[in-house]
Amino acid sequence: MLGVYEILILIGAGLGTIWLGCYWPGWRRLVATVALLSLFGLALYGNSLANAQSSFWLSYLLASQSAIMWMSALYILATPTYFGALFGRSEFTGQVASGLTWAATAMGLVGLLMRWRETYLISPDIGYIPISNLYEVFVLFCLITALIYLHYERRFATRALGGFVMLSISAAVAFLLWYSFSRGAHEIEPLVPALRSYWMKIHVPANFVGYGCFSLSAMVGIAALFRYRADNLNPDGYLARILPAAVVLETIMYRAISLGFAFFTLATILGALWAAEAWGGYWSWDPKETWALIVWLNYAAWLHMRMTKGWRGPAMAWWAIIGLFVTLFAFLGVNMFLSGLHSYGEL
């Protein structure tokens, strides 16, 4: 079943969960909810996948596919709610939006955990941690982006950016739904031999913290562009009143990019170590690797401009937005248009 490294990784994940819980009450509630729902789901499943059809709770709420559908619906619902709160300047609507986002995240996590069990129910020799194909990592992307956003929402005490960030998550959800319905991507397939490695389990999440941060910074970049316009055209106008100050937006952008950069550095290094074990070299200039380097260089340049030249303002916001497209290409474009060793998740 699980190797030594897998167990170490799980212990690490557990410690990380506890550490986050120490200073983030929302995270504690999330973990408790997810744990309860998942245990309930596990009990309902017992030892038979067939229960997914016969059990009401599984088929409408907890089976991975149902839970992920709930996640999708809730994230999509959260988007207009956040915007409603922003434009209506309603504290209550904002709380509802945050609640929806937390609920969506919980359902997504439950979905992944149940899927983990389902892979073993199909056949014990197939079982794997479900962060291994494009469908699963899209769910992971939504979860991680939402969590990073919720973290900043609390840290900077503003819900004004929720709509913007949820826009990118909704786009990911739209892709997920299309991918699932038109390509049957949600079906569980055994891992190809190259992906049967413990490196996968740390490389992929680290990468997605990076992707999540970069997409968040781009969405905050969009909000910042509105802010700059408002400051120029009508500093006392409506838009200027509802959006956070430019310096707050710039700080969040910088924070997200530096967090993303740190994790992306980690992910790329882990990828290199994995490649050294699976492909016979820590760096092969494979298209995916190379695009990871391009993404990394791009944000390194962004950070330099901010730190050493003190750049602020629209140029940096635009750069963060363009950065998202570079990242998107590294994440999806490479799989779609270029061929290489990273063959998982072909479209």
Partner 1 sequence: MFKLLSSPPLRFLGSMPVAITALSALAIASTIGTILQQNQPYQDYLIKFGPFWHRFYETLGLYDVYSAGWFLLVLAFLVGSTSLCLVHNAPGILRGAHDFRTRMQGGVLAHMPETDEWHSPQPRTALAGPLTALLQSRGYRVRQEAGNDRLLLAAKRGSINRYGYVFTHLAVVVICIGGLVDGNLPMKLNHMRGDLQIETRDLRAVDIPAASRVAAGSTAFRANINIPEGAAANFAFINLGPGYVLQELPFQIRLKEFRIEHYSSGQPKAFESDLILHDPERDVTIEQTIGVNHPLRYRGYNIYQASFEDGGSRLQLTAHPLRNPAMAPLAIEARVSENVAVATPEGELLLELDDFRLHNINRDSASVGKVSGREFRDSGPSYTYKLRQPDGIAREYENYMFPLTVNGREYFLSGMRESTAEQFRYLYLPADADGSPQLFLDLLKLLHDDERLDTLLAAYAETTANRLDATDADAAARIRRAMLDILVLFREGGFAAIIDRIDTTVPAAERGFASQAYIRLLQNSLQVVYLALINTTAGVENTALDAEQTAFLDDAMQAIAGLGGYGAPFYLELNDFEHRQASGLLIARSPGKMLVYPGFLLLLTGVFLLFYMAERRLWLELTDTAAGTRLRLAGESNRLQEEFASEFSQVAAAARQLNR
Minimum CB separation of residue 312 from partner 1 in Å reads 14
Cβ atoms of residues 326 and 295 within 8 Å = yes
Q: Per-residue x/- marks for partner 1, 235-274, CB under 8 A?
A: ----------------x------xx-xx--xx--x--xx-
Q: Does 176 bind partner 1 (CB under 8 A)?
A: no
Q: Does 277 bind partner 1 (CB under 8 A)?
A: yes
Maximum C-alpha span of the chain: 64
Nearest residue (CB) to partner 1, 159 versus 255: 255
How would you label 86-124 residue by residue, b for 16+ Cβ within 10 Å and e otherwise?
beeeeeebbebbbebbbbbbbbbbbbbbbbbbbbbbeee
Which one of ligand HEM, partner 1, none is in contact with 314 (Cβ closer than 5 to 8 A by kind)?
Answer: none
Question: Among residues 80, 110, 98, 108, which one has the least CA distance to residue 26?
Answer: 98
Q: Does 194 bind partner 1 (CB under 8 A)?
A: yes
Distance CA 162, CA 216 (A): 10
DSSP letter for each residue of 115-177 = HHHHHHHH-TTT---S-SSHHHHHHHHHHHHHHHHHHHHHHTT--TTHHHHHHHHHHHHHHHH
Three-class secondary structure of residue 244 per DSSP: coil
Q: Per-residue x/- marks for partner 1, 55-94, CB under 8 A?
A: ----------x-----------------------------
Distance CA 172, CA 107 (A): 16
Which one of partner 1, ligand HEM, none is in contact with 194 (Cβ closer than 5 to 8 A by kind)?
Answer: partner 1
Q: Does 23 bind partner 1 (CB under 8 A)?
A: no
Interface with partner 1 (CB under 8 A): 49, 52, 65, 122-123, 125-126, 155-156, 184, 187-190, 192-194, 196-197, 251, 258-259, 261-262, 265-266, 269, 272-273, 276-283, 285, 287, 290-291, 293-294, 297-298, 300-301, 304-305, 308-309, 334, 338-340
